[in-house]
Chains A and B, each alone.
Chain A
Amino acid sequence: MGSLERLEFLEMETILSDGNSKLWGPHGFCENLYVRFDKFEKINAQRAILPLREWCLQVTAIVENMKGRVGVFISAEEDLKGLLQFLSIIPVIALDFPVFTDGRSYSKAMQLKTIHSYKGELRAVGDILIDQVSNMIRCGFDTLEVTHLLTQKRLASYSGEIFSGFYQNGVGLFRSGGKRIWRFF
């Protein structure tokens, strides 16, 4: 990248630094139908995401009024346990990456998808850099809510996995051939 281009880039970053998150999925950027709220009574949208604690407190109201339209946000330090019995009525679970070095949500993603057979949308939110995208997809995330501008730019030109396969199983990966190698079909 030339220096002029870099300058433009920095300016763009300054302008777009906060709040412009974009949702990215397997077919590229897509519309985010969900709005985050901290309390159930504040919801003024068709579809919403509530924090884990609030979701569990309001489960009766959700089932009565907005069944299948309220997702859950789970912070990195929160446990999945209380939520497992409700998985079938949760349309989206957003797992947080408060900083990209905090890897707890990868394990929760694997538990949700491979042990608890969660069928809804699994979304990664927070500090998402391009270099974590492969890990997130292999752990079963369906969508990434990306605020980082460089990540958005890279994802816009994302042409798929650079590795032809992996040494581990993962969500959507299948073992192929004689060696312990897993690939996407």
Chain B
Amino acid sequence: MYRYDEFDKAFVSARVAEFSDQVKRRISGEMTEEEFMPLRLRNGVYLQLHAYMLRVAIPYGTLSSDQMRKLSDIAISYDRGYAHFTTRQNIQFNWLGLNDIPKILSELAEVEMHAIQTSGNCIRNITSDPFAGVAADESVDPRPYAEILRQWSLLHPEFSYLPRKFKFSITASKSDRAAIQVHDIGIQIKRDLSGELGFSFYIGGGQGRTPMVAKLLCDFVPIEDLLRYVTAVMRIYNLYGRRDNKYKARIKILVHETGIKELREGIERELSSLRKEDLVLSREDIDAIFRYFRYPILDSRSSQNSNFRSLRLSNESFNRWVHQNVIPHKHIDYGIVTISLKPIGGIPGDATSKQMNIVADLAERYSCNELRVTYQQNLVLPYVALEDLYNVYNKLVDYGLATANINQISDIIACPGLDYCSLANARSIPIAQEVSKRFSTYERHMEIGDMRLNISGCINACGHHHVGHIGILGVEKKGHEYYQLTLGGDAGNSCAIGEITGPGFPADEIVNAVERVINTYVLLRKTNERFIDTYRRVGMIPFRHALYGKSGKA
């Protein structure tokens, strides 16, 4: 993974000093909350329902054992002993005192972490494929390019006061595991016919109250033009994005109102006027970043694979876990392990300080000191030798981390909802817990198969309900929590926004409604057909009938 050089270290330290001073000015009263707000947001500090929340950046979801241990320390020393991993591969601490935050930030700086630009109307943490660098199906590791973009966007003088927040996601795989089409800019790295690498730019995707699938802006931007191209896009957005209404300020609205063709022409005009010498990305610059990634050298570990196979045959729970949570690594003797943070009946994405330490230890011992966070709010050990899987599994079992449910119905994405968030209209966590319990058995999970169920507590859609195969959206109606159901959403290559089934359901009915949808699917599906494929084949009508009766009423 990427290691800071001297400049990176000094830069983050200077930033910590600057923010510590701002906090001091706020606490002394020299600065009003109104003046302080944009500054604290720029440093990842939110004021929530009960306390200050700090969101720490985990660039492209990659972190080391030491970094994970530091996060664990912060959770136990300054918070309530747990933290929450987010859909943007970051981590949030929900119960902090403002006084402690400068100290926390300097502790983070010791392990090369920061909270810069994890909120505010600026370029946010750049997300990527959680399996980047280890997946068998990628054209190149996208993370060095994500790192180049991270550095370029850090305290950018021109793009720090954008109309609204701005999210990049980047993948180099044909199979999109980074949800690039629901980001402001989604980048797919690929090779052209001559083998040259370049970038496909998708623009204007997003969720929130106006969900949109991104449009293709440019099919192939040559590598050396990466920073010129993003500068042109960002400048056009900064100048022409709407600032009169925060709900219309994301770039998706600019794309929608201007039209992709006209917008593309504007961007290309700006591009042609940009001085090349300032922004060109040379081969040497790229090589330098790749060198700072220091890839582990993987030993051949084939000798004892037969032992691994026999353990799978003799231990059914282990076998189920391997089947569901481990995928092939680009090195044949290794596997990529996803650690589920979705225990049955638990809070999606939460991890205790103890669990974080255990995962850090496992990464140190079995996974080259490296961890990943997925946008589905799980953790990944990217380099586990197949013969070590059994040891890893047993350790995970001891700490409640061995739930074998990746990409199944209880692997729920959920926002913190009304239990924490000042924007929420309804609770998300209890609904997630109830869904997870309702379908808790192994048999039920296997019967349902591949499923993405996402829950948001308000229309801002932090829980990605729009792109859940089944989506649940909390709304408030006459002082009561109601839940709207959407079907058919997808964040991957066949990206789609889910369609609303009809009237919403009260809190005590929503899980029954989900069950009716599931039962309808099981009746209608062909052999081995996933829920999403059945939905695409048969459409909404049979589900609507199951939910509301043939008359269409709830």
Contact = CB atoms under 8 A, between A and B. Distances in A.
A6 B32 CA distance: 13
B7 A181 contact: yes
A178 B288 CA distance: 8
Given A101-B121, A103-B238, A162 B17 contact: yes
B210 interface: no
Contact of B18 (A100, A111, A162, A181): A162
Interface in A109-150: 110-111, 114-115, 129, 131-132, 134-136, 138-139, 150
> Most A CB atoms within 10 A — which of B39, B154, B156?
B156
Interface string B187-198: 000000000000
A111 B174 CA distance: 37
B28 interface: yes
A6 B154 contact: no
A179 to B, nearest CB: 6
B476 interface: no
Interface in B274-298: 274-275, 278-279, 284-285, 288
A168 B38 contact: no
Given A1-B30, A9-B30, A135 B151 contact: no
Interface string B142-167: 00000010011011111111100000
Contacts of B29: 1, 6
B11 interface: yes
B152 A167 contact: yes
A21 interface: no
B235 A110 contact: yes
A139 B38 contact: no
A27 interface: no
Contact of A178 (B31, B159, B284): B284
What is the predominant secondary structure among interface residues of chain B facing chain A? helix
A102 interface: yes
B11 A163 contact: yes
Interface string A88-111: 000000000000111110111011
Given A103-B160, A107-B239, A139-B157, A168 B7 contact: no
Contacts of B275: 114-115
B397 interface: no
Contacts of B30: 1, 6, 9, 150
> Most B CB atoms within 10 A — which of A100, A103, A170, A179?
A103
B158 A180 contact: no
| Contact-residue size bin, chain B (C-beta under 8 Å from the other chain) | 35 or more
A163 B278 CA distance: 20
Contacts of A178: 284, 288
A51 interface: no
A29 interface: no
Contact of B157 (A115, A129, A170, A181): A170
A163 B11 CA distance: 6
A100 B14 CA distance: 22
Nearest to B150: A167
A129 B35 contact: yes
A104 B157 CA distance: 12
Interface in A58-75: none
A138 B273 CA distance: 19
Interface string B45-73: 00000000000000000000000000000
A119 to B, nearest CB: 16
A110 B239 contact: no
A150 B161 contact: no
Contacts of A110: 158, 235
> Most A CB atoms within 10 A — which of B11, B17, B121, B275?
B11
A164 interface: yes
Contact of A179 (B7, B39, B239, B273): B7
A132 B122 CA distance: 14
Contact of B10 (A1, A9, A115, A164): A164
B22 interface: yes
B89 to A, nearest CB: 21
A116 to B, nearest CB: 9
Contacts of A139: 157-158
B7 A106 contact: no
B7 A103 contact: no
Interface string A4-15: 001001000000
B243 interface: yes
B278 A169 contact: yes
A25 interface: no
Nearest to A114: B275
Given A103-B159, A169-B278, A1 B28 contact: yes
A156 B152 CA distance: 31
Contact of A150 (B5, B31, B288): B31
A6 B156 CA distance: 33
Contact of B238 (A104, A150, A163): A104
Contacts of B28: 1, 6
> Most A CB atoms within 10 A — which of B15, B29, B275?
B29
Interface string B2-36: 00010100110011011000100000111100010
B11 A115 contact: no
A106 B235 CA distance: 9
Contact of B14 (A106, A138, A163, A169): A163
Contact of B161 (A102, A114, A180): A102
Contacts of B18: 162
A101 B41 CA distance: 12
A6 B154 CA distance: 34
Nearest to A76: B243
Given A1-B28, A6-B28, A178-B288, A168 B14 contact: no
Nearest to A10: B29
Counting from the closest, the 5 A-B pairs by CB-CB distance are: A103-B161, A138-B157, A169-B278, A135-B157, A167-B151
13 contacts: A1-B30, A9-B30, A101-B121, A104-B243, A106-B161, A115-B274, A134-B155, A138-B157, A163-B15, A163-B155, A178-B288, A179-B7, A180-B148
Interface of A: 1, 6, 9, 100-104, 106-108, 110-111, 114-115, 129, 131-132, 134-136, 138-139, 150, 162-170, 178-181
